[in-house]
Amino acid sequence: MTFRLASAAALAALLFSSCASDSDLKVLSKSNIGRYGSSTYGATAQGGAYSTAEPSAAVVQGAAGHAKDKHGMPFYKASERTRLVRTTAYTQSESDHIEYGAMNAAGTPLRYTDRVRSAAADWAVYPLGTVFRIKGMSQLFVVDDYGSALTGTGTVDIYTPSKDYMGLWGRRNVEMTVVQWGSYARSAEVLSKRTQFPHCAQMYAAINRMTAGQTASTASR
């Protein structure tokens, strides 16, 4: 138990050492998610590599029996940490993001280092603070952002530092493993202040339905 607590503390320190206050929270409505390229592996950008390994046959086969989103990609139970996921890419210089600069929806700087990188998702699927790995890559990714095009899907949008890098990532299906789940409570807290935006209202409502269902299930035991 001591080892687990120490590991969790170390992970938290690595990921959230640069967190800012809620006073700087910004809305990021990335309606034009980058969808360049195809489901390729091993694309290389100048100064860095986007080398992802093909999903295992077991993960691909295991996806077949799940409910699907509008892209035909599976939704998973929280207990299923290794999964087949559709990914796209984005950057701060896109036309619908440029006014926000290099800030994420949590109000902190977008991250792109050799250790930790930012990602966007539907927070009702991958709540704020969710940490994951992509097969074939050494970095940890953390969900600290969202986008209107992601709402209602299992797609994860990977942050890249430029349009060139965004194009090199393209659109690819990857094998992803959730290392640590984020907080639905924190996600709901942030989204509750932004329900004037349809995608935020949709995520907020979905989280409330989910947590209400979990409460009812616990109470009936």
Q: What is the number of residues in the chain? A: 221
Would you place residue 81 in the very low, low, confident or very high pLDDT band (cuts 50, 70, 90)? very high
The 10s digit of each residue's pLDDT in 138-187 is 999 999 999 999 999 999 999 999 999 999 999 999 999 999 999 999 99
Predicted model pTM: 0.80
CATH class of 24-182: mainly beta
